[in-house]
């Protein structure tokens, strides 16, 4: 017998909520193992506690964020996107664009593989991705038949949601802005590739028993510089977190990865962190480092920070 796949659907604002509810009702037709979760409270009002979000995330294996022109820069949309990606991984999080194109998507959520809700092929790709992670999954040919049968239902529901929205004067992104973002992404990927090449070369040198080299390796030197910069960035991040929570409440810091730091604090420190979660998220976004703030042994509640 298969295990249901819990899907966390995040939303903010009236149109986004209606989109989330339409997906909640429609997705189980694609695969009965899909179990969508849509919260009953608007995240923009901050009425859902962070511990509630964390508990739901623990049970979810896929995340969908319903994005509109109006809410794409909303702090809570970006917070939940970060929390979802941190728990599930980038490949398990899909921004679902109600009334904008991928090229007009901005902010932290733009780094994920987005789905344009008005594109049948885009939604089909999302359905196939979700089905592949279900247990059991539906046969490809049968899934396509079901999708084609029910696509009109979802499309018509979303058309009504878009039609009910007031006119939005959010400008469409200009071509130079999009090109600048692409250049930045390419540069970042180039640095990552060079860093990987240096690690591979270093591993080969260490494991070689027949040849030694003392040649200067500029890639290795760059990798060492990057590690030092990363260490400094983590130290600055930890200092900023301590200033928000209070140095006297900090007990221990544990670096899990270069982008994931765990802090152990006193009960008073946790209360401060819960009250200052937006400021802590701003710190995490600034340094692109995520983490958690919890009591010793991660007992009880904790505060999660996403790295964007």
Residues 37-52: pLDDT tens digits? Answer: 887 654 444 444 455 5
Please state the rounded mean pLDDT for residues 123-152: 94
Of 124, 117, 106, which is closest to residue 18 (Cα–Cα)?
A: 117
How far is it, in rounded angstroms, from Cα 308 to Cα 301?
Answer: 22
* Residue range 236-259, pLDDT digits in tens: 888 889 899 988 888 888 888 888
Dihedral sign (CA 228, 230, 236, 239): negative
Confidence band (pLDDT; 50, 70, 90) for 105? confident
Domains of the chain: 5-163 (3.40.50.10140), 235-308 (no CATH)
> For residue 12, what are the contacts with CB-CB under 8 A and spacing of at least 6?
42, 43, 44, 71, 74, 76, 77
pTM over the 0.85 mark: no
Quote the mean pLDDT of the chain: 78
How far is it, in rounded angstroms, from Cα 240 to Cα 83?
Answer: 20
Read off the tokens for 256.
């899990």
How far is it, in rounded angstroms, from Cα 124 to Cα 113?
Answer: 14
Pairing of strands 290-294, 302-305: antiparallel
Instruction: Please say whether the beta carbons of 111 and 184 come within 8 A.
Output: no
Q: What is the pLDDT of residue 205?
A: 57
Q: Which residue has the tokens 């179990």?
A: 35
Q: What is the pLDDT of residue 211?
A: 45
Instruction: Please say whether the beta carbons of 50 and 20 come within 8 A.
Output: no
Q: What is the pLDDT of residue 303?
A: 87
């Amino acid at each position: 017998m298969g295990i249901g796949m819990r899907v966390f659907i995040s939303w903010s604002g009236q149109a986004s909520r209606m989109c989330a509810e339409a997906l909640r009702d429609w997705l189980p037709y694609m695969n009965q193992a899909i179990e969508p979760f849509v919260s009953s409270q608007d995240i923009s009002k901050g009425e859902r506690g962070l511990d509630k979000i964390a508990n739901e995330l623990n049970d979810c294996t896929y995340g969908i964020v319903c994005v509109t022109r109006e809410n794409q820069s909303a702090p809570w949309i970006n917070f939940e996107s970060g929390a979802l990606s941190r728990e599930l991984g980038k490949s398990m999080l899909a921004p679902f664009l109600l009334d904008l194109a991928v090229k007009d998507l901005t902010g932290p959520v733009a780094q994920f593989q987005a789905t344009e809700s008005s594109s049948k092929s885009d939604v089909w790709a999302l359905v196939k991705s979700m089905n592949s992670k279900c247990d059991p999954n539906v046969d490809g040919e049968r899934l396509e038949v079901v999708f084609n049968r029910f696509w009109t239902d979802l499309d018509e529901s979303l058309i009504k949601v878009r039609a009910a929205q007031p006119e939005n004067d959010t400008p469409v992104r200009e071509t130079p802005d999009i090109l600048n973002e692409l250049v930045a992404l390419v540069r970042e990927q180039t640095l990552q590739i060079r860093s990987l090449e240096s690690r591979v070369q270093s591993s080969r040198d260490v494991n070689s028993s027949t040849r030694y080299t003392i040649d200067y390796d500029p890639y290795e030197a760059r990798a060492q510089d990057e590690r030092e910069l990363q260490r400094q960035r983590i130290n600055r991040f930890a200092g900023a977190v301590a200033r928000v929570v209070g140095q006297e409440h900090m007990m221990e810091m544990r670096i899990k990865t270069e982008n994931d730091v765990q802090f152990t604090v006193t009960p008073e420190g946790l209360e401060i962190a819960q009250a200052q979660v937006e400021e802590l998220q701003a710190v995490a976004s600034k340094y692109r480092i995520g983490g958690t703030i919890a009591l010793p042994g991660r007992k009880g509640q904790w505060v999660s920070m996403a790295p964007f």
